[in-house]
Amino acid sequence: MSSSSIQTVLITGANRGIGKGIVTVYLSKSDVTVIAAVRDLESISTKALSSLPRAKNSSLITVKIDSSLEQDAIAAVRKLESEHSINKIDVVIANAGTSASLGPVASITAEQLLENVTVNSLGRPLFLFQATLPLLQKSTQPKFVVLGSQAGSIGAMEKAPAPMAAYGSSKAMAHYFVRKIHFEHNDIISFAVEPGFAQSDSGNSIAQMFGMKEAAVPIADSANFVVSQIHYPVISLHFRAASASGKKASRGNPLAGTWTKMD
């Protein structure tokens, strides 16, 4: 099978939570090269990815990308080109993130804010997009997808009452970047997907703050929803917002989903 007929997908934060769930979904599809980007190539969770079932002509590559380090994504792309003969990337999914330092505006420090911004706003999507752009532009239908959050909404802030000032503001910046990519790159389908209140480590921690045992959405459901949104048929729509916890965004309205809005 020619390399052009193989779909290549890169996912950050790929060895746990929603990221691992997304890797699992793509490996279950035929003719997909899955690039699992992780912070630690030697961790048990990373090595466990190699045991995930794979469909026909699907394969797994692991690379190191620490979203807090500006040069990591650049180095990973160089390695993909030189060691794995990757000459295009069809889909980039910016999943890796942090929800460190929960707290209200009155108590967050500059250090706590910068920790969230470095990973959630700069590492993804800025550093990742800049590093992968040349390979995205070699795809016939490139997509750059950021996992967003209602916590980063200004227009729907009342729906995310948790004290997450540092996290929420960093996600709002990420939403801005992916929206801006939509306007600056007509050749790239760029949008954010809100994966729902998923049962990840961070999701469950937030749920427990409110007396819940765990978050509402199983990881598998969240991952399947994200992938379905990425490959949902659209025509000349370069930004789409949706939520696994609620209704799909309108295909006709690229601003559907108030968590992306300013008002």
Whether 167 sits among the annotated catalytic residues: the reply is: yes
Whether the ω angle into residue 125 lies within 30 degrees of 0, i.e. cis, is yes
| Helix (H/G/I), strand (E/B), else coil: 204 | helix
Residue with tokens 């980063």: 152
- The span from the first CA to the last CA of the chain, in angstroms, equals 49
Give yes or no for a contact between 153 and 160, defined as CB atoms under 8 angstroms apart. yes
Q: Which of the following is catalytic: 138, 143, 167, 176? A: 167
| Close Cβ partners of 192 (under 8 Å, ≥ 6 residues apart) | 145, 146, 147, 148, 174, 175, 178, 179, 239, 240, 241, 260
Residue 171 annotated to the active site = yes
Q: Which residue has the tokens 């789409």?
A: 240
In whole angstroms, give the CA distance from residue 216 to residue 143.
Answer: 28
Catalytic residue among 171, 176, 248, 261: 171
Phi, psi of 92, rounded to the nearest 5 degrees: -115, 125
Pick left, alpha or beta for residue 154 (phi over 0 → left; psi -120 to 50 → alpha; otherwise beta): alpha
Residues 181 and 133 sit within 8 Å (Cβ to Cβ) = no
Which residues carry out catalysis? 167, 171
